[in-house]
Amino acid sequence: MNILITGSSGQIGTNLGLALLGRGDQVLGLDKRVNAWTRKFPTEIVDLTTPWSGLPKAIAHFAPDIVVHLAAWAKVHQLVKEPAKSLENVQMAFWALELARALDKPIAFGSSREVYGDIHRHITDESMADFVVAESPYSASKIAGEAFFYAYARCYGLKTLVFRFSNVYGRYDNDLDRMERVIPLFVRKISRGEPITVFGREKMLDFTYVDDCISGVIAGLNALAADKVVNQTINLAYGQGQTLHDLVSLIELATGKTATVTWAPSQTGEVTRYVADIAKARKLLNYSPKTPLTRGMGEYVRWCRETQFIV
Ligand SMILES: NC(=O)c1ccc[n+]([C@@H]2O[C@H](COP(=O)([O-])OP(=O)(O)OC[C@H]3O[C@@H](n4cnc5c(N)ncnc54)[C@H](O)[C@@H]3O)[C@@H](O)[C@H]2O)c1
């Protein structure tokens, strides 16, 4: 298949693009930044918040069979501080949908467990999201993005899939200058013997190793392209909860260093409890995540050493 990925220079986009190439698909990336990790697939530099008229030439020429929309400002706390960026997320979803509509091709969306809000549930199935639970501007942007996907499916017959990801970690995630994500930040600081501040001792989250996430996305793309699973919303996560205390202990184990930790309350807008119900993904996509955090953290730290992110 010819697959167009927006946000292709980011963590999930890079992993997805390379995995799709690896199985023989053609990939065209679309991002506002060049890909810092790979030149194996081309990237069309486009700012997706900007209106366009007519299909960009490179995209028309590529003739995608399917679009995967991953472009976004992806950090919750950053969007609490700069809420206008959440509006950009909605614009990006809108223009990605317009792209798919112009192409008349199916489109998948990288949404988030943030659409469930902070509802302190252990299990959350796909029916439980509601706009009234929006916990942060980022959460609102994903709820709005999803709403546009559902509206485009109804009004224009667009075939869609919405994936709700949760704390995806692994390869191609270490550019702390661009975005301070917790796992790379803690891995770097703990490995250097620097102190860390952990917000929310009580937090329990569902950490998803990137290969599991990508296997679910690819199963979804296959099913969407074959018209087997269409207009569905699907949680893609590991399906088990870990506390931030567990996370820090596993980083200590993987790096061989002892962390110096200051515990602080959760920050505004943060979800403090989420464990995905992945029954629907198992049923519709035969999804079967294989990497517990214990193993995934070891893999990630190994990659951080290989890329000299840590010594
Ligand atoms: N990584 C996670 O844990 C996680 C969890 C839930 C949801 N998600 C969602 O999955 C998607 C991918 O996440 P990621 O971790 O790869 O994020 P990322 O930040 O690594 O990648 C996002 C990419 O979008 C690009 N982008 C941003 N604004 C753009 C614009 N105006 N035009 C074109 N490109 C633009 C960025 O340059 C970046 O390369 C995002 O939509 C994110 O919200 C991620």
- By alpha-carbon position, which residue is closest to atom 26 of ligand 1? 71
Question: Does residue 112 have its Cβ closer than 6 Å to ligand 1?
Answer: yes
Residue 220 in contact with ligand 1 by CB distance below 6 A:
no
Angle at 93 between CA 206 and CA 240, to 5 degrees: 10
CATH 1.10.150.120 fits 2-168+208-236, yes or no: no
Model confidence at 122, in pLDDT bands (50, 70, 90)?
low
Q: Which of 81-95, 127-141, 201-215, 271-285 has the lowest mean pLDDT?
A: 127-141
Burial of 226 (0-12, 13-18, 19+ CB in 10 A): exposed
Ligand 1 pocket check for 219: Cβ under 6 Å: no
> Is residue 199 within 8 Å of 267, Cβ to Cβ?
yes
What is the CA(13)–ligand 1 centre distance, in A? 8
Q: pLDDT (tens digit, 9 = 90+) per residue, 161-182? A: 999 999 999 999 999 989 889 9
Strands 242-243 and 204-205: what pairing? antiparallel
Whole-number Å distance between alpha carbons of 56 and 53: 8
Tell whether the model's pLDDT for residue 265 goes beyond 80: yes
- Probe ligand 1: pick from 32, 99, 148, 169, max atoms within 8 Å of CB? 32
Given this model, what pLDDT does residue 121 score?
67
* Distance from Cα 260 to the centre of ligand 1, integer Å: 30
In whole angstroms, give the CA distance from residue 110 to residue 146: 9
Domain limits, the chain: 2-168+208-236, 170-205+240-276+290-306
Instruction: Write the CB contacts of 249 (distance below 8 Å, at least 6 apart in sequence).
Output: none
Among the residue ranges 56-60, 216-220, 221-225, 237-241, the one predicted with the least confidence is 56-60
pLDDT tens-digit series, residues 182-235: 999 999 999 999 999 999 987 999 999 999 999 999 999 999 999 999 999 999
Above 70 in pLDDT, residue 160? yes
User: Is 97 exposed, middle or buried, given 0-12, 13-18 or 19+ CB atoms closer than 10 A?
Assistant: buried
Task: Give residue 53's pLDDT.
Answer: 82
Q: Would you tell me the crossing angle of helices 84-103 and 137-156 to the nearest 10 degrees?
A: 20
> What tokens appear for 14 in the block?
């890079």
Mean pLDDT of 108-120: 90
pLDDT score for 133: 83
Best mutation site among 6, 18, 31 for ligand 1, i.e. most ligand atoms within 8 A of its Cβ? 31
Q: Stretch 277-298: mean pLDDT, rounded?
A: 98
Looking at the CA of residue 49, tell me the nearest atom of ligand 1: 31
> What contacts 13, CB < 8 A, 6 or more positions away?
5, 6, 7, 29, 31, 68, 70, 71
Domain 170-205+240-276+290-306 has CATH 3.90.25.10: yes
The packing angle between helices 293-306 and 244-255, to 10°, is 50
**Average pLDDT for 17-41:** 97
Q: Token pair of 253, please? A: 């184990």
Ligand 1 contact via 276 beta carbon (within 6 Å): no
